[in-house]
Amino acid sequence: VSQSRYPKEELFAYQFGWTARYPGADNELGSYDFRQIGKANALGVLSDDPKSGDDFTSSEIHLPVNKPVTLKFRAKDVIHSAYLPHFRVQMNCVPGLPTEFTFTPTMTTAEKRTELGKPDFDYALLCNKICGSAHYRMKVKVVIDSEEDYKKWVAEQKPAFTKKTEEAA
């Protein structure tokens, strides 16, 4: 499997939260421009890029088990650090400097719950840089799904970015 075929999720850090952006059927994230970030476009995604049209966002992170996943990181305001303690990975999220890494989750959330004997266990992504007064709120649930459940979850998502002409119609 070439790296270009790995699922590529983007995690956008801001004071004080995370937004996950996923590519749609084309498996390519649309372009962005930090100058476009604002109230109407919190991520700065360029809606006129055809690759953006099927991208979707989520307030939690879903990843398929036993598949290499490339996580791309951007930050809006200050330096953050994406920390996935159960996977022993961490990456700085620096405004103006996109970063990324690839890893392979090897155990679903359900399997981990069984292994630990904790039915309420959840994987989490945390910010590991003290980034301001509400830094403690920068935690997001990570769900590692079976391939079937991941595909089902993706199929249920709705595109988040459309061309302005489509919005007016």
pLDDT value, residue 4: 47
The per-residue pLDDT for range 106-115, each reduced to its tens digit, is 999 999 999 9
Mean pLDDT on 124-134 = 94
pLDDT value, residue 25: 86
- Please state, in angstroms and rounded to a whole number, the distance separating the CA atoms of residues 148 and 42: 31
Nearest partner of 150 among 60, 45, 87, judged by Cα: 60
The per-residue pLDDT for range 55-91, each reduced to its tens digit, is 999 999 999 999 999 999 999 999 999 999 999 999 9
Please give the distance of CA 85 from its chain centroid, rounded to a whole number: 16
pLDDT value, residue 7: 67
Mean pLDDT on 27-44 = 88
pTM tops 0.75: yes
Check whether 164 has a pLDDT greater than 70: no
